[in-house]
Structure 1
Amino acid sequence: MQLFRWCAESRPAFLLLLLLTLTVASGCAGRSMQQEPVVVKRTQMHMGTLVSITAVAADKQAAQTAIEAGFYEIKRLEQLLSTWIPGSELSGVNQAAGKHAVGVSGETLELVQRSLDMARLTEGGFNIAVGPAVEAWSVTERQHIPTQTELQQLRSVVDWKSIQIDPEARTIFLPRQGMRIDVGGIGKGYAADRAVDVLRKAGATGGVVALSGDIKTFGDLPGMKGFPVGIRHPRQDGVVVATIDLQDEAISTAGDYERYFEQDGIRYHHILDPVSLEPARLCQSVTVIAREGTVADGLDTGIFVLGPERGMELVERLPDVEAVIIDVQGRMMVSSGLRDRLRYP
């Protein structure tokens, strides 16, 4: 959850305590040539947001090499998955909607398949086909409130169940003209997972990959256990509701304060209920902690739509998944596996 903004369109960032820790660790490493291992952190712009990679390695050169490999992997995935890049694979799939299937890479096929799995798991709460309805609301631009007639006309093109995947031919087909898929609600978590894999292979023994509010950690900081991360209050900027130490885990959040406008005292935000095609109203924020960034990133939106009761029931059924849910009244629910791990201010 966000304690400051990376950029105007960023997802919530969990990084205040984390960055303070990394700054101290990096500074100590720089002052003592004999201290091992070292901590190196770098930031670049990818996937429409600032991406921060921190690597713990035997020496500075090894950490730098691992970080470069991580950034290269994220950039490579962006070229496949970003719908803002006209020549990306997903842009090609969208352009062929209603016409023909499109061949894609293994990574694109995997992420779309996992997105559909997440949609089934959350009863459609997570929906990579809902983009046309999100655009109709235009929360950050025109701030338009669509009529029920407008929304009704979009229902046929936001049906995630109609997306066709052929694993053997490695193709994706959108059967209706006007359909499009956007993996922005899960792609950053996926990219964080892949970048961590690359960092490990390059020799990093620990670190963090943070694509705005989607964070994946592995290993430990020197002299510490895990990586401390603060969770923001959804209605009080700069206020932390709890802190948790992440160990080989990912964290992601969905909140109604990320992108929204208010009109006549009503908050209209970008997380839509795929049934009503209107902003989901049962939560203020949902933070998910999981082993995989892909899971955390996809589940936070789906649970936000499901609401606190159904969402927490889902979390308690899933292995290696925990959540902090703040409902529309501001009440906080914590999953059973987190109750002894959270620290409160």
Structure 2
Amino acid sequence: MNIKKVIGIQWSAICKKDTRAMYRMLLITYCVSLLFSCTTQDQMYKESRVLMDTFCTITVVSPSKEKARTAIDAGYEEIGKLDRYLNNFSPDSEISAVSREAGIKPVRVSMETMDLMQKTLGISHITNGAFDPTIAPVLKLWKFSGRPADPSLPSDDAIKNALKLVDFNKIQLTSASSAIYLKDAGMELDLGGIAKGYAADRAVEAIKAKGIKAALVAIAGDIRGYGVSAGGNAWKVGIQDPRPEHTNSDKPWEDIFASVQLKDSAISTAGDYQRFFMKDGKRYHHIIDPLTGYPSDSGLISVSVIAPEGYMADGIDTAILILGAEKGMKLLESKGIDGILVTSDKKILVTEKMKGNMEVLKKEYKMAGTRSGS
């Protein structure tokens, strides 16, 4: 299989925009089965755009270019709408409005934002707060956006004070009026750890509504696929190497350490390599532990979760990177979903079902064992 041939166009588009950092947030997708198993009536159509501050690709299988165009546009319209609602960097977004009115009054929001908040709180509860959407005050202290060349660390006192504003239990949802209220002044929402997975879910539903029988939506490292090729084969997805030998390689296909098959499900990957800086030989990354206010130090460097829906995979992978391998595997088992966990010494832990559903492509990564999963 010539991976270079399959992903070459997508990589070329990224290079033209000089956004290698965006690529490093991607799970590289290569649709092997669909590419070679479509009927003569169906063809694969793909388009990439930049939305939600990252690189997105929608791939559909369609009998005509016109039908594909309608479906792809519908998918991107849904992603764009959610970007406007959920972007905490935009003062005009619904999420920003909720944060501005913290401790003052509830804010009426769209059906989509309310739906996501309900799902988000569900993830917060099952992860015992490891995933907390009120982490924004602490995250801001770390300044991962616009990080200076010579970074300084936030003080312990600043982190301690910001942590007082982190508590998902102080989010009040009123379904009847579709309103969200943060109970304490100074609280803020950041849905960056779950919004992309949710957007992929919504895009898939919009594409299905246009009569498309198979599609793959990739928003950075959050991927949702449905349908199979005429031959009955699943989509094949590559997982980013968290410790590539050449970090500025112009050969992205060499930065995949494993591949998995995706069938009517979603996959999301969180890692300590996506946004980080080095100081005094230590890596500081953007996944903050809500208990400590510091980047998680669980011994995991990459977590991929395979779940029925994108929002679930997106939220849980972040939580597991914080919880660590033992608690993370127990969480996966309890919820009947699958995962691939990579430790700092390049050992791979997987749920039982993943044993026959993944291929390790780099010899330096070794399987550490399996657990019972879904």
Q: Do both proteins adopt the same fold according to a TM-score greater than 0.5, normalized to the shorter chain?
A: yes
2:218 matches 1:205? no
Identity of aligned residues (%): 35
Distance in 2 between the 1:66 and 1:170 partners? 29
Is residue 281–residue 328 contact of structure 1 (8 Å, CA) maintained in 2?
no
Q: In structure 1, what is the equivalent of residue 233 of structure 2?
A: 225
Is residue 254–residue 301 contact of structure 1 (8 Å, CA) maintained in 2?
yes
Structure 1 residues 8 and 84: CA distance shift in structure 2, 3 A: farther
Unmatched tracts of structure 1, length 5 or more: none
In the alignment, which of 317, 321, 332 is matched to residue 300 of structure 1?
A: 317
Q: In structure 2, what is the equivalent of residue 215 of structure 1?
A: 223
Distance in 2 between the 1:344 and 1:311 partners? 21
Distance in 2 between the 1:235 and 1:318 partners? 29
Counterpart of 1:168, as a letter, is A
In the alignment, which of 153, 161, 164 is matched to residue 145 of structure 1?
A: 153
2:91 matches 1:75? no
Give the 5 Å matches for 1:11-30. Answer: 12-18=25-31
Cα shift at 1:240:
2.9
Distance in 1 between the 2:329 and 2:270 partners? 15
Distance in 1 between the 2:349 and 2:316 partners? 16
Distance in 2 between the 1:54 and 1:240 partners? 20
2:354 matches 1:341? no
Give the 5 Å matches for 1:148-227. Answer: 148-223=156-231, 225-227=233-235
Distance in 2 between the 1:39 and 1:15 partners? 17
Q: In structure 1, what is the equivalent of residue 260 of structure 2?
A: 244
Alignment RMSD (CA, Å): 2.1
Residues 217-272 of structure 1, C-alpha deviation per residue, up to 9 Å, x if partnerless? 11124546111111232112534332111111111111000011111111111111
Distance in 1 between the 2:29 and 2:82 partners? 27
In the alignment, which of 264, 268, 280 is matched to residue 296 of structure 2?
A: 280
Counterpart of 1:191, as a letter, is A
Distance in 2 between the 1:244 and 1:205 partners? 21
Cα shift at 1:16:
4.8
Counterpart of 2:348, as a letter, is M
Counterpart of 2:210, as a letter, is A
Is residue 28–residue 256 contact of structure 2 (8 Å, CA) maintained in 1?
no
Q: In structure 2, what is the equivalent of residue 129 of structure 1?
A: 134
Structure 1 residues 103 and 188: CA distance shift in structure 2, 3 A: same
Unmatched tracts of structure 2, length 5 or more: 1-6, 248-253, 362-374
Name whichever of 241-250 and 268-277 sits farther off: 241-250
Distance in 1 between the 2:313 and 2:305 partners? 5
Distance in 1 between the 2:269 and 2:71 partners? 27
Counterpart of 1:147, as a letter, is S
Q: In structure 2, what is the equivalent of residue 118 of structure 1?
A: 123
Q: In structure 2, what is the equivalent of residue 84 of structure 1?
A: 89
Is residue 122–residue 302 contact of structure 1 (8 Å, CA) maintained in 2?
yes
Name whichever of 170-179 and 216-225 sits farther off: 216-225
2:297 matches 1:263? no
Counterpart of 1:307, as a letter, is G
Is residue 289–residue 322 contact of structure 1 (8 Å, CA) maintained in 2?
yes
Tell me the secondary structure at the aligned position of residue 359 of structure 2: coil
Tell me the secondary structure at the aligned position of residue 271 of structure 1: coil
Is residue 307–residue 327 contact of structure 1 (8 Å, CA) maintained in 2?
no
Is residue 9–residue 49 contact of structure 1 (8 Å, CA) maintained in 2?
no
Q: In structure 1, what is the equivalent of residue 53 of structure 2?
A: 48
Residues 182-225 of structure 1, C-alpha deviation per residue, up to 9 Å, x if partnerless? 11110110010011011111011101111111111111245461
Name whichever of 307-316 and 142-151 sits farther off: 142-151
Distance in 2 between the 1:57 and 1:17 partners? 18
Is residue 316–residue 336 contact of structure 1 (8 Å, CA) maintained in 2?
no
Cα shift at 1:56:
0.7
Is residue 74–residue 191 contact of structure 1 (8 Å, CA) maintained in 2?
yes
Cα shift at 1:8:
5.1
